Amino acid sequence: MQLIDNFNFAGKKAIVRVDFNVPLNKETGEVSDDTRIRGALPTIKKIIADGGSAILMSHMGRPKQNPDPKFSLKQIISAIEKNLGQSIQFCDDCMKADEQAAALKPGEVLLLENLRFYEEEEGKPRGEFASDEEKKAAKNALKEKQKDFAKKLASYADVYVNDAFGTAHRAHGSTAVIADYFDEPNKMFGFLINNELKAMDKVLNEAQKPFTAIMGGAKVSDKIMIIENLLDRVDNLIIGGGMTYTFIKAQGGQIGNSLCEEDKLDLALEVLKKAEAKGVKVFLPTDAVNADKFDKDANTNTSKTNETPEGWMGLDIADETIKTFSDVISNSKTVLWNGPMGVFEFDKFAKGTSAVAQAVAKATQENGAFTLIGGGDSVAAINKNKLADKVSYVSTGGGAMLEYMEGKVLPGIKAIRGK
C-alpha cells in the first residue's frame, strides 16, 4: 500500500476526497465549525509543499437536485482559503472540470462543486418509483453510471488521495469506486485517515490493560454490535445514557418513564451473560438524576436506577455512579468512549457526561492511558468541556468509526488497503 509520507507529489495532480461537510451558520451562511477543514490541511499542505497541485472534492449535506445553492461548496471557499493561507479556484460542476484541472500549476488548489449534486456519487436513484422492482432496476442502471462518474473524476488527476474518514463507510463514487481507476502506487490515504486508522487499530489490537470501553447514548440497538465486538477485548464495560434502562428493566428494575427498548430486553441479558462468561466487568449506573418531563427546565430528583419513581425518567447518572465510573476510567490504560452518559444537551443533565470527560482526560494525563473518543455526541461533549487536547485522539468520523470498531470492512478503506 502506498503511504502518503513517502510519496513525492512534485509535478503531479492529486485528486483528494476530503470531508468538507461542515455546518453553516443559518443567518450569516458562514462556516460555524471548521474542524473538518482543519483536519484536511496536513494532506493538502504536503501536496502543495512537494510541488504538486490539489483537486479537492467533497459532499455537503443531502442535496436532491443539481444545482442546489443551499448546498453549494462555494459557501466555504473563504473558510478554506483562510485556513490554507492561499486563494483557491472553484469549478461549479464537478463533471466539467477538465480544462481547469489541466491548467492547474504546481502549488495551486481547485475545489470541485458538491459531488452529491449528482446521484451517481451515492449511487442512490432519486425520484419516485412505482414498484420495488422499478427502483431496483434504476439502482442497477445507476451503478453503471457511477463507474463513469468516478472515471471522469479520476481523469482529472495522476494520483488519488482519500482523506474523508467521515464517509469511509460508504461505497460512493468518490470514496471507493474511483480507486479502481488508479494503480496501486498512485492511490493512498491522507494523513487524517492514517491517523484515524492508527488510533482505532491501537485500541482494537494493541490495547494496554486495563482496557475500559464506555458506551453511552440513546439506544442499545445502535451500540450492540460494537459492544459485542469489544467483549473479547475489554476488561471493563461501562454502560450509561438512555441505554442503561433497557439493561435495568431486563434485570427486573423499576424504570418509570425512562427510555427503554422493550424488544431488546433479552438481548441486554444476553450481553450481560456473555460479558460474565468472558470475565468482563460490567458497570451499570446505580443512581440517576430523574426528570418529570423531557425538558431542559424539568423538575428533578435522584433515585437508584432500579427504583425510578413512577412518572419520572432518568436523564443523567448521579453522584455514586459518577464516582464509580470515574475511578474505573482514571485507573485504565486504554479507554474507548462512545456516547454521552445523559441528556448533556440540557445543562441540568450534563454533569455525568462532563465528569466522564474529566476522568478520560485524567486517565490520559496522569495514568498515561491511550484514550480514543468517537461518535458525534461524545466528541461534542469533549469539546464542550474543552478537553479535546487532553485526550489521545478524537475521531472525526461518527458512523465510520462505529462501523470500524464493530469489526466491519469499510468500503473506502478497502478500496485502498484491500481489506
From 74, 145, 147, 219, residue interacting with ligand AMP (rule: CB under 6 A)? 219
Known catalytic residue at 17: no
Q: Is 200 exposed, middle or buried (0-12, 13-18, 19+ CB in 10 A)?
A: buried
From 171, 345, 365, 406, residue interacting with ligand AMP (rule: CB under 6 A)? 345
The dihedral sign for the CA sequence 109, 119, 419, 40: positive
Q: Using CB atoms, what's the residue nearest to ligand AMP?
A: 217
Cross-strand partners of 189: 162
Q: Which stretch binds ligand AMP (CB under 6 A): 6-14, 49-57, 67-75, 341-349?
A: 341-349
Biggest alpha carbon distance in the chain?
Answer: 70
Question: In terms of CB distance, is 72 or 378 closer to ligand AMP?
Answer: 378
Q: What are φ and ψ of residue 330, in 5° steps?
A: -70, -15
Question: Which candidate in 304, 348, 399, 417 is catalytic?
Answer: 399
Question: Which candidate in 219, 281, 304, 333 is catalytic?
Answer: 219
Question: In terms of CB distance, is 123 or 241 closer to ligand AMP?
Answer: 241
Question: In terms of CB distance, is 171 or 218 closer to ligand AMP?
Answer: 218
From 57, 154, 193, 259, residue interacting with ligand AMP (rule: CB under 6 A)? 259
Q: Is 220 exposed, middle or buried (0-12, 13-18, 19+ CB in 10 A)?
A: buried
Dist. CA 311–CA 294, nearest whole Å: 11
Cα→Cα distances 205→147, 156, 160, 201, 325, Å: 35, 38, 28, 6, 24
Question: In terms of CB distance, is 188 or 356 closer to ligand AMP?
Answer: 356
Question: Which candidate in 376, 390, 408, 417 is catalytic?
Answer: 376
Q: Which stretch binds ligand AMP (CB under 6 A): 135-143, 213-221, 380-388, 405-413?
A: 213-221
Dist. CA 206–CA 209, nearest whole Å: 9
Question: In terms of CB distance, is 168 or 315 closer to ligand AMP?
Answer: 315
394 lies in the site for ligand AMP, by CB under 6 A: no
| Footprint of ligand AMP on 280-339 (CB under 6 A) | 314-315, 339
342 lies in the site for ligand AMP, by CB under 6 A: yes
Q: Beginning with the edge strand found earlier in the chain, give each strand of the sheet holding 393-394 in spatial order.
A: 281-283, 236-239, 211-215, 334-338, 370-373, 393-394
210 lies in the site for ligand AMP, by CB under 6 A: no
What is 3-37 written as a DSSP string?
Answer: -GGG---TT-EEEEE------B-TTT--BS--HHH
Question: Which candidate in 36, 249, 264, 362 is catalytic?
Answer: 36
Known catalytic residue at 219: yes
Residue pair 381/344 in contact (Cβ under 8 Å)? The answer is: yes
Q: Which stretch binds ligand AMP (CB under 6 A): 153-161, 164-172, 217-225, 297-305?
A: 217-225
242 lies in the site for ligand AMP, by CB under 6 A: yes
From 81, 180, 222, 406, residue interacting with ligand AMP (rule: CB under 6 A)? 222
Alpha helices (H) along 108-212? 119-122, 132-155, 191-205
Known catalytic residue at 352: no
From 119, 163, 235, 377, residue interacting with ligand AMP (rule: CB under 6 A)? 377
Collapse the DSSP code of 316 into the 3-class scheme (helix H, G, I; strand E, B; otherwise coil) and give the result: strand
Nearest distance in Å: CB 257, ligand AMP = 10
For residue 106, is the peptide bond before it cis, meaning its omega torsion is within 30 degrees of 0? no
Question: In terms of CB distance, is 217 or 412 closer to ligand AMP?
Answer: 217
Residue pair 67/117 in contact (Cβ under 8 Å)? The answer is: yes
Question: In terms of CB distance, is 194 or 212 closer to ligand AMP?
Answer: 212
Dist. CA 43–CA 57, nearest whole Å: 13
Known catalytic residue at 399: yes
52 lies in the site for ligand AMP, by CB under 6 A: no
Tell me which residues are annotated as active site.
Answer: 36, 219, 376, 399
* Residue ranges binding ligand AMP (CB under 6 A): 217-219, 222, 241-242, 259, 314-315, 339-340, 342-343, 345, 375, 377
